[in-house]
Amino acid sequence: MQAPFTSLDGFRAVFNALPQRDASAVQTAIARNEQLTKPKGSLGQLEDLGFWYAGWRGDGRPSLERPQVVIFAGNHGIAARGVSAFPPEVTVQMVANFRAGGAAINQLSRVAGAAMSVVELDLDRPTADFTKAPAMTEAELVAALAAGWEAVDDDADLLVVGEMGIGNTTAAAAVAAGLFGGSAADWTGCGTGVVGDALAGKTRVVAEGLALHAEHLADPVEVLRRLGGRELAAMAGAILRARAGRIPVILDGFICTASAAVLARIAPHALDHAVAGHVSAEGAHRALLDRLGKEPLLNLGLRLGEATGAVLAIGVLRGALACLSGMATFAEAGVSKG
């Protein structure tokens, strides 16, 4: 679907009309859950996950049929500053690998029964180095937000977004610091394996970016434009599109969560349709989830991005919905209630 905005003001206007969850579907799911053949509360977080999904789909006995995974790829000016353990050409090389089916996310999407696609965002035109200028112009930001919006399948009943972009843990650290405050060191981590002096240099790059743009960071959209990148913006646009269509979202790692956090800083309820799929080994991801009040479903020590943790969590959601919608009630099964 074409994005309903062609300017940043138009993008901001979307937040004025976001749909809420269907409270009656939640009530139906809660009432059904109380009748199911298990001790009350014994499926723990799976029960809450079922209520959450029921509410956003407007169906008290929901099923998951069409999960969609979209990977957004972008290149970063700051990659030239030695902030990654890998060279910037890996971004386009990995896009080819996604298309050929050879990446981790291809395997995990297949196992999860999810349709996966890749969107390249001007890979031959990296963003500007944010220590020297805003990463994107307004037009570039709008285009990336719209690309994210338009990548979402209207018929999907779950969205997962992921990213590929050498240097993007640096951009995500800068965005997180811009949104929530704190020092560059609080938010900067190892990414692809940056340690020692290189990690100190990466932290300095984030600090330089924060210093250059310090006067403009009160506005979350400006934080994204000045310190983010195209794939971060596209993820934000896709997650917002999902909200507008009441499509539930599972968030991935540090970079995905930093992108999503932009939406929450614009409107605190903007991520109510999203759950955290996992907590990444990237140092500051847990802190970012805490700021958003999200408890991760999985903690597997992943530090890859590409939506891998979120796609693994689709299996947990499938389990939650299979129980909510498929279990017999005490009456149906002739099991005595406690």
Ligand X SMILES: Cc1cc2ncn([C@H]3O[C@H](COP(=O)(O)O)[C@@H](O)[C@H]3O)c2cc1C
Which residues of the chain form contacts with ligand NIO (CB under 6 A)?
A: 169, 191-192, 252-255, 280, 282, 285, 303-305
Q: If contact means CB under 5 to 8 A according to the sort of partner, which of ligand X, ligand NIO, none does residue 203 touch?
A: none
State the binding partner of 285 from ligand X, ligand NIO, none, CB within 5 to 8 A by kind.
ligand NIO
Segment (H or E) for 116: strand 115-120
Longest C-alpha distance within the chain, in Å?
Answer: 70
* Stretch 134-173 residues interacting with ligand X (CB under 6 A): 163-170
- Provide the annotated active-site residues: 306
Least gap, CB of 306 to ligand NIO (angstroms): 8
CB of 166 to ligand X, least distance (A): 4
Selected from 29, 54, 94, 206, the binder of ligand X by CB under 6 A is: 94
Nearer to ligand X, 165 or 178 (CB): 165
In one-letter notation, the amino acid at residue 24 is: S
Query: 38 or 99, CB closer to ligand X?
Result: 99
- Is 50 a residue that touches ligand X (CB under 6 A)? no
Is residue 84 a contact point for ligand X (CB under 6 A)?
A: yes
User: How many other C-beta atoms are found inside a 10 Å radius of the C-beta of residue 291?
Assistant: 17
- Is 78 near ligand X (CB under 6 A)? no
Based on CB atoms, which residue is closest to ligand NIO, 287 or 323? 287
Place of tokens 């049929």: 65
The piece of 9-17, 257-265, 302-310, 315-323 that touches ligand X (CB under 6 A) is 302-310
| Beta-carbon-side half-sphere exposure of residue 105 (alpha carbons within 13 Å) | 31
Comparison of 165 and 248: residue with beta carbon closer to ligand X: 165
Neighbours of 106 (CB within 10 A): 19
Question: Which one-letter amino acid corresponds to residue 289?
Answer: L
Q: Which is nearer to ligand X, 73 or 142 (CB)?
A: 73
Q: Counting contacts by CB under 6 A, is residue 305 touching ligand X?
A: yes
- Selection from ligand NIO, ligand X, none that 90 binds (CB < 5 to 8 A by kind) is ligand X
| Torsion angle (degrees, nearest 10) of CA 265, 266, 270, 272 | 20
Q: State in angstroms the smallest separation of the CB of 96 from ligand NIO.
A: 18
Least separation in angstroms between residue 303's CB and ligand NIO is: 4
> Binds 303, which of ligand NIO, ligand X, none (CB < 5 to 8 A, cut-off by type)?
ligand NIO
Amino acid at 320: A
Residue nearest to ligand X (CB): 191
CB 280 within 8 A of CB 309: yes
Least separation in angstroms between residue 304's CB and ligand X is 5
Report residue 189: phi and psi, to 5°: -130, -165
Distance CA 249, CA 251 (A): 6
- Output DSSP code: residue 298: B
Looking only at residues 203 through 262 of this chain, which bind ligand X when binding is defined by CB under 6 A?
none
Cα separations (Å) of 173 from 114, 204, 331? 29, 12, 53
CB atoms within 10 A of CB 90: 17
Phi, psi values for residue 278, rounded to 5°: -160, 170
Interior/surface letters 209-227, b for 16+ CB within 10 angstroms, e for the rest: bbebbeeebeebbbbbbbb
Binding residues for ligand X (CB under 6 A): 84-86, 90, 94, 163-170, 191-192, 194, 304-306
